[in-house]
Amino acid sequence: MSDETTRTPGTYGQEEIARNKLEPWPNPHPTRDYVVHFEIPEFTCLCPRSGYPDFATIVIDYVPGPSVVELRSLKLYINGFRNRAISHEGATNEILDDLVKLLEPRWMRVVGEFNVRGNIKTTIFAEETQPTYQGPRPAYTRPTFSGI
């Protein structure tokens, strides 16, 4: 029997997330300073105090060093936060730390634009720069993705 016939219905995605590891790919232009921009509008995690879901758009901007992130592995990594009890600050900084460790970017910024909850909107900015880096660091602009 194949995995498809023995798998519990509705668990394929959960299994993929559990097996996933962030994956670096070689930077196709390692001598050029260029900015990679991601908007991840469906980020979710759980409030560590109440257990209620928190929703956010995560914005990642970076200037690659030797590696870029493979997008499927990034998607599954982000989806791994869905059932985790973690603060806004914790999630944003953990994403930055994990990506910096994996990719060794020249510069990276991760912003967590969390939806309003309890009448408060939270935005977390976390940034890391290599000491000798002098290249582009675009100004932050709010997420532009609004769905289709």
pLDDT band for position 146 (50/70/90)? low
Residue among 96, 66, 62, 61 nearest 78 (CA):
96
Angle at 82 between CA 78 and CA 27, to 5 degrees: 5
Q: Which of 3, 45, 54, 97 is catalytic?
A: 54
Mean predicted lDDT score pLDDT of the chain: 92
- The residue-averaged pLDDT of 103-122 equals 96
Is 54 among the residues known to form the active site?
Answer: yes
Beta strands in the chain (DSSP E): 24-26, 36-46, 53-63, 67-69, 107-117, 120-129
Is 47 among the residues known to form the active site?
Answer: yes
- The residue-averaged pLDDT of 102-121 equals 96
Residue 31, both tokens: 């001598």
pLDDT band for position 12 (50/70/90)? confident
Dist. CA 30–CA 76, nearest whole Å: 25
Q: Which of 3, 33, 45, 47 is catalytic?
A: 47
Residue corresponding to tokens 């769905």? 147
pLDDT band for position 2 (50/70/90)? low
Which amino acid type is present at position 43?
Answer: F
Class of the CATH-defined domain 3-129: alpha beta
Does residue 64 contact residue 102 with C-beta atoms inside 8 Å? no
Residue among 108, 51, 47 nearest 74 (CA):
108
What is this structure's pTM?
A: 0.90
Cα of 112 vs its chain's centroid, Å: 9
Statement: residue 100 has pLDDT above 90 = yes
pLDDT band for position 131 (50/70/90)? very high
